[in-house]
Structure 1
Amino acid sequence: MSIFNFPPPSVQLAGDQKNMNLILLSFSLFLLISSPKPISAQDSAAGDGGDGAGDGGGAAGDGGSGAGDAGDGGGGDGGSDGGRGGTGGGGGGGKNRTEEVTPPEEMNTCNGVFLQYNFISKEKEFPYLDNATAQSWAFKSELVAINAGTTEVRAWKALVGFHHDEVLVSTEGGSILNVGASFPFKVDGNGTYVVGYPQSDLKTAIETAGDMSQMAAKVKFKGSLFGGKEGNCPMPKKLKLENDGFKCPAPTKKGKFKKGACKTKEGPYNNTVSLISSDKSMHVCCKKDPKYKVKRRKTKFYPRQNGAVSFTYDVVQANEGNYMAQITIDNHHPLSRLDKWNLTFEWTRNEFIYDMRGAYTRRRDLSECLLSPAGQYYTNLDFTKVMNCDKKPVISDLPPTLKNDDKIGKFPFCCRNGSILPKIMNGGESKAMFQMTVFKLPPDLDRTSFYPPRNWKIEGYVSPNYKCTQPIRVDPSEFSDPTGTDATVYAMASYQVVCNITRPKPQKAKCCVSFSAYYADSVVPCNTCACGCEDEDTEKCNPMARAVLLPPEAMLVPSANRTKKARAWARVKHIDLPRRLPCPDNCPVSLNWHLDSNFRTGWTARLTIFNWGTHPFEDWFTGLQFKKAFKGFKNVHAFNGTKLPKVGRHGTIFMQGLPGTNYLIPIQHRRRGEMPVPGKQQSVLSFHKRDTPKIKVTKGDGFPTKVIFNGEECALPKRLPKKNGGFRLPGAGILPTAVVVAFLTFVFISF
């Protein structure tokens, strides 16, 4: 017998077939597991990008899913080849890549930049209301910008004149440049400034051989609007290119805009297909202005903007998986100031702060780091040494005691307890600076992918309210060579955030003003709830009632303890009081403006500053603005006064304490049963009438129209002091003048 024992032919055939089936099944499973994901339309349009294949891979090619998905996070710049924005940068992949655009017929006659706004859909939102004006609608629209001219448009910017109380929830393919534009963003009456991201530049057909992916950009909007009946198409009132050197005519509408024209219901936003030749659209062709003188630009980035406060986010060092950022805070406004500042922003790519120098985060939570995406990726990292893993960290300045600390101190412009002064007071203390090491997560681990944080916000104790823009890429910052040579060192990438001062909302101020005069017995106190009434029992006091008149001595008592004096004064002066008295002003700082005298050649006033809070004010300042009295300002006693003619509509009188009076102490609590004593400073201002002959001092011109303390605009009274029945000229020995002036002077000296 042969040593090979073959089975019968029929059995052998069946076994071979079974083995073959197993082999085919295993091979199919292997292909299914190991095969790359299907190539999407965006990936195939990315050219040489792909998922790491071809020339440059997904991070540095023309997009590709490997380049990262910026989405609404914004800010990504530079793929592994260091490209800026556009289709080559770190924010150029995924859904943020410029979609394929088909030129409409209207563009055939355009020799410039063609803008088109397409209205996609709107749908009624909850709550459903009978009032059509108050009814909200969810809308979707898009803006398309195409360069049909012969000149490249760098850093294109367009104005979309939304005017239906729109609230933008998200954008795709662009960013909002308005001050304070963080989502949800309520559009004001001036419209919305839109910049392309990542497609920030619009190249010409000549230099791209008609490649629409480089010539055009599309920005999608999603949000809510108010008003308008069902079926109406809410279109912007303006559409224009905001780049220098272009002129735009009035936009032209296309399609039916009558009742019922927009009575269509689209699918989900991501699945909605919108053609550029929309039946409900408006377009405009912006052409080069032949009279415009071209200004040579040294870089292709956005020009640096001006504002009250600016942040510069410089990438000064980059490694695989992390980079070092240097943040500079500059105070440019002469009346802007920050004390004990707290800075916050929002990471968009799961970044976290490993360490810092020159500042610190207010919160360190190890458990949050371990449970975050960073903890899941960096499994071998010691997170006990990590500074912060919050998505929205709160950053503060170091105290002076840590200025020379070897680990977190020894950094320029730091360690002043969060004090940033205006340049008019101290140019060396008008900025702050700190560094931080930022760790990144996939797919942004290469050394040239940078995504600055968004939604910047800075606050301080009795400081102005700021609204900030989103970060924009600007020309790299310049630094001196640390080795001591004359060489200039440039940042790898620089971004700028600009913040401007906004007026405080009613009952949201941080300081207030009271008025008094030599001709009036009563003092007009600060407004009710001038600084808020969140902690007040509104069943015991009325937050909406007008503040009642008070005797002069009540100004030395905390606003919450003036009830007895107000009732007693009302009985003496026969003043009608409501059953529920007004709530106190609750301000940590108050100022009293007392009109002291008024003569034929001049007049005087007395300013008293009260600190009702527990924090002292070192190097404080105040600014006064008048409608007519600015030109007549002569001198200020006990303070250092300066006229700023270019600040404010009618100029500003800037005052700060002299040595010995530049420190405003906090409130001092006495023994039990005794009223606390506020910290205070006082001075007299003198004015002449030579340059203001028509001024009417007692009828309102002698009272400031705007008062600023440490940069914060204080709430002003809504009425002026009234003359008494026995009014006489000042200096005639009338009782009200003696009582008010002598009492305030005595109290100031005695304390």
Structure 2
Amino acid sequence: MGFTTSANKREGTPVKANDLQLLQCFSILKIKLQLWAILLLMALSQSEAFDPLDPFGNITIKWDVVSWTADGYVASVIMNNYQMYRHINTPGWTLGWNWAKKEVIWSIVGAQATEQGDCSKFKGNVPHCCKKNPIIVDLLPGVPYNQQYANCCKGGVVASWGQDPSAAVSAFQVSVGVAGTSNKTLKLPKDFVLMGPGPGYTCGPAEVVPSTVFFTPDHRRKTQALMTWTVTCTYSQILSSKYPICCVSFSSFYNETMTPCPSCACGCHNKKDCIMSDSKRLTTLGINTPKKDNTPLLQCTHHMCPIRVHWHVKINYRDYWRVKIAVTNFNYRMNYTQWTLVAQHPNLNNVTQVFSFDYKPLVPYQAINDTAMFYGMKFYNDLLMEAGPLGNVQSEVLLRKDKTTFTLKQGWGFPRKIYFNGDECKLPPPDSYPFLPNSAHEIPSFYSTMVAIILSLLINIMM
């Protein structure tokens, strides 16, 4: 006997059992798809730390318990920066957590706690730190040898993985007391907070992982940590700053109009918050000294950004084209060490030569090579000085034309995204890009070269 629905009863049309089961399957599938869509939206709303150009970038903090003590343990704490182009700049990282019980830090090698806390209940041997929520910082270079630990003592500065993997690590050793003395009694620290050097990082919970295996110095014998746990921290530009920290301006040899950074690209400020480039205040002693809270002293500009990146389409050859990139610092209190610049453009898959920056292609999904990282040459221009005559670095990039896509029309020659030190910069609106004149279907090479030279000279004078 067939089944009928209320709608079909009115029409007197029976519905077979197989059809009803099919309808039920479709209903269940629809509900599941809706649930998946809701979960996906929730995940996306909470994943503001996701970086499409560096999808697997994070800072992983690993704790290896290397020995048990009478009342606790000794652990090696290693911080690895797996971010391709985001490093921790001066004044360096700050790491904090909450103890699960009433643990104390008896001693630290290679770092120090910023506060000792109340250790009054201890007689004789007093711990290094008794706070429930200790804050740890790296030691400065040049400390005595007996206070050093491998990969410590760099003032908290950690390079990006893409720029220098050997320098993308920081470490210290900590002796913990009033704690568990075995894998069963030890309680993991919680509520980790990483500042580097400002906000922006969110850390997950500590998770126990397979114990780390070490080699002895002669590499002939393996040893193993007694217990290992890791903490993963990811970066979000939204959490780091309300406004962008950089902006981008454009120019080209085929148009005399320069496209400036958008007004108030990094937020509008009062005149008291900035300083004119010819102000007598700049001669004041200590004007360039960074403040404890890292507040900038900006040169007064219409964009009010600490950093401006200028992209100039310089020359159009038959098989190649040439771009000039300049980075200018407008912060009188900040030097940028180990700076990085990331650009996304479809023709960056054909970089032929980079003249005074180091260069590395970035392929986020192993699908299309349209992203490049530029950074300063060591001991040459890897330090971007504070605002002033020396506060800029620049280079030129020669690219081979992709015959199927290359054009100078509709702003194709300008980047899709620009990042400085891992933060995305504010680009001008697309309708303001330097446009190719209607009559300039083919610009004579002599004319384009002369215009390029003149514009290049003007840009150098302005900087």
TM over 0.5: yes
Q: Equivalent residue for 2:247?
A: 512
Shift of 1:465: 4.3
Which runs of 5 or more structure 1 residues have no equivalent in the other structure?
A: 1-159, 167-186, 193-305, 542-557, 564-583, 669-675
Give 1:235's aligned residue.
Answer: none
Cross-structure match for 1:337? 87
Task: Please state how far the C-alpha of 1:606 moved relative to its aligned partner.
Answer: 0.8
Deviation string 1:33-72 (CA, Å, 9 cap, x unpaired) is xxxxxxxxxxxxxxxxxxxxxxxxxxxxxxxxxxxxxxxx
* Max Rg structure: 1
Residue in structure 2 matching 1:352, options 92, 104, 125: 104
The answer to whether residue 170 in structure 2 is matched with residue 432 in structure 1 is yes
The aligned residue for residue 604 of structure 1 is 322
Matches within 5 A, 1:318-333: 318-333=68-83
Alignment partner of 1:188 is 2:43: yes
Could you tell me whether the CA contact under 8 Å between 2:408 and 2:436 is conserved in 1?
no
Contact persistence 1:507–1:530 (CA under 8 A): no
1:396 aligns with 2:137: yes
Is the Cα–Cα contact under 8 Å of residues 313 and 452 in structure 1 kept in the other structure?
Answer: no
- Change in Cα spacing, 1:501 to 1:660, as seen in structure 2 (3 Å) is same
**Following the alignment from structure 2 to structure 1, what is the Cα–Cα distance between the partners of residues 366 and 417?**
9
> In structure 2, the residue corresponding to 1:630 is in which secondary structure?
helix
1:310 aligns with 2:28: no
Q: 1:335 to 1:659 in 2, by over 3 A?
A: closer
Write out per-residue CA displacement over residues 485-525 of structure 1, whole angstroms, 9 at most, x where no aligned residue.
Answer: 83322212111122344454784433332223334444433
Matched residue type, 1:638: S
2:220 is matched with 486
Q: Is the 8 A contact 1:321 1:446 kept in 2?
A: no
1:111-147, CA deviations, whole angstroms, 9 ceiling, x for partnerless residues?
xxxxxxxxxxxxxxxxxxxxxxxxxxxxxxxxxxxxx
Partner of 1:405: 145
Contact 2:348 2:372 in 1 (8 A): yes
Describe the SS at the equivalent of 2:145.
coil
Letter in 2 for 1:467: T
Deviation at 1:474, TM superposition (A): 0.5
User: CA, structure 1 residues 609+539, in 2 after alignment: closer, same or farther (shift >3 Å)?
Assistant: closer
Q: Is the 8 A contact 1:351 1:438 kept in 2?
A: yes
Relative to structure 1, the CA distance from residue 699 to residue 723 in structure 2 (aligned partners, 3 Å threshold; closer, same or farther) is closer
Give the partner amino acid of 2:225.
Answer: A
- Written as runs of structure 1 = structure 2, the 5 A alignment for 1:665-680 is 665-667=384-386, 676-677=388-389, 679-680=391-392
Counterpart selection for 2:152 from 395, 414, 418 = 414
Q: Deviations over 1:430-453 (max 9, x none)?
A: 211111122336xx5778522222
Residue 532 to residue 746, structure 1, CA distance change in 2 (3 Å): closer
**In the alignment, residue 344 of structure 1 is paired with which amino acid?**
G
Match of 2:460 in 1: 745
SS at match of 1:732: helix
State how far apart, in whole Å, the 2-side matches of 1:646 and 1:382 are: 52
Q: What are the within-5 Å matches in structure 2 for residues 705-720 of structure 1?
A: 705-719=416-430, 720=432
Structure 1 residues 725 and 335 mapped into 2: Cα distance closer, same or farther (>3 Å)?
closer
SS of residue in 2 equivalent to 1:743? helix
Change (3 A) 1:191 1:734: closer
Of 633, 642, 646, the residue aligned with 2:360 is 642
- State the match for 1:562 in structure 2: 301
Partner amino acid for 2:130? C
The verdict on how the C-alpha distance between 1:347 and 1:717 changes in structure 2, with shifts beyond 3 A counting, is: farther
Distance 1:734 1:425 in 2: 34
TM-fit CA distance, 1:559: 6.5
- Report the Cα distance in structure 2 between the residues aligned to 1:539 and 1:665, rounded to whole angstroms: 25
Shift of residue 351, structure 1, vs aligned partner: 2.7
Query: 1:596 Cα deviation (Å)?
Result: 1.7
Matches of 1:485 and 1:678, distance apart in 2: 47
TM-score calculated relative to the size of structure 2: 0.71
| 8 Å Cα contact 1:632/1:692 also seen in 2 | no
Give the Cα–Cα distance (whole angstroms) in 1 for the partners of residues 40 and 132 of structure 2: 30
Residue type of the alignment partner of 2:84: P
1:394 is aligned with what amino acid? I
How far apart, in 1, do the equivalents of 2:452 and 2:298 lie? 24
Aligned position for 1:265 = none
8 Å CA contact retained: 1:334, 1:423: yes
Structure scoring higher RCO (CA < 8 A, sep ≥ 6) equals: 2
Matched residues in 2 for 1:667 and 1:562: separation?
Answer: 15
Q: 1:504 to 1:741 in 2, by over 3 A?
A: farther
Amino acid at match of 1:590: R
Residue 168 of structure 2 aligns with an amino acid whose one-letter code is S
Aligned 1:574-585 pairs, distance under 5 A: 584-585=303-304
Task: Tell me what 2:115 maps to.
Answer: 364
CA contact (8 A) 1:356 1:434 kept: yes
Find 1:495's aligned residue among 206, 226, 229. 229
Residue of structure 1 equivalent to 2:375: 656
The answer as to whether partners of 1:527 and 1:585 remain within 8 angstroms in 2 is no
* Residues 1:590 and 2:308 are matched in the alignment: yes
2: distance between equivalents of 1:527 and 1:347? 47
Q: Is the 8 A contact 1:454 1:470 kept in 2?
A: yes
CA contact (8 A) 1:611 1:665 kept: yes
Give, as a single letter, the amino acid of the residue that structure 2 aligns with 1:452.
Answer: L
One-letter code aligned to 2:188: P
Deviation, structure 1 residue 357: 0.9
Residue identity matched to 1:401: G
Q: CA deviation at 1:454?
A: 2.3
SS in 2 for 1:629: helix
Name the amino acid aligned to 2:186: F
Distance 1:585 1:392, change over 3 A: farther
1:449 to 185, 188, 191: 185
Q: Is the 8 A contact 2:251 2:434 kept in 1?
A: no
Counterparts of 1:310 and 1:509 in 2: how far apart (Å)? 26
Scaled by the length of structure 1, the TM-score of the pair is 0.46
Task: Provide closer, same or farther for how the CA distance between residues 423 and 716 of structure 1 changes in structure 2, counting only shifts above 3 A.
Answer: same
1:390 Cα deviation from its structure 2 partner:
3.6
Cα 1:449–1:678 shift into 2, 3 Å: farther
Q: Structure 2 CA distance, aligned partners of 1:349 and 1:161? A: 39
Number of residue pairs the alignment of both structures matches: 390
The equivalent residue for 1:696 is 407
List 4+ stretches of structure 1 deviating above 6 A: 538-541, 724-727, 733-736
- TM-superposition CA deviations, 1:153-193 (whole Å, max 9, x none): xxxxxxx9794999xxxxxxxxxxxxxxxxxxxx535899x
SS in 1 for 2:151: coil
Structure 1 contact 629–692 (Cα < 8 Å) conserved: no
Quickly say closer, same or farther: Cα 1:540–1:663, change in 2 above 3 A. closer
Give the corresponding residue for 1:732: 447
Partner of 2:287: none
Contact preservation (8 Å) 2:352, 2:400: yes
Instruction: Return 5+ residue gaps in structure 2 as ranges.
Output: 1-34, 48-55, 275-296
Distance 1:323 1:494 in 2: 12
Task: Give 1:722's aligned residue.
Answer: 434
SS class of match (2:259)? coil
Deviation at 1:475, TM superposition (A): 0.6
Q: Kindly state the Cα deviation for residue 355 of structure 1 after the two structures are TM-superposed.
A: 1.9
Q: In the TM superposition, what are the counterparts of 1:522-537 in structure 2 within 5 Å?
A: 522-531=257-266, 536-537=269-270
1:323 shift after superposition? 1.9
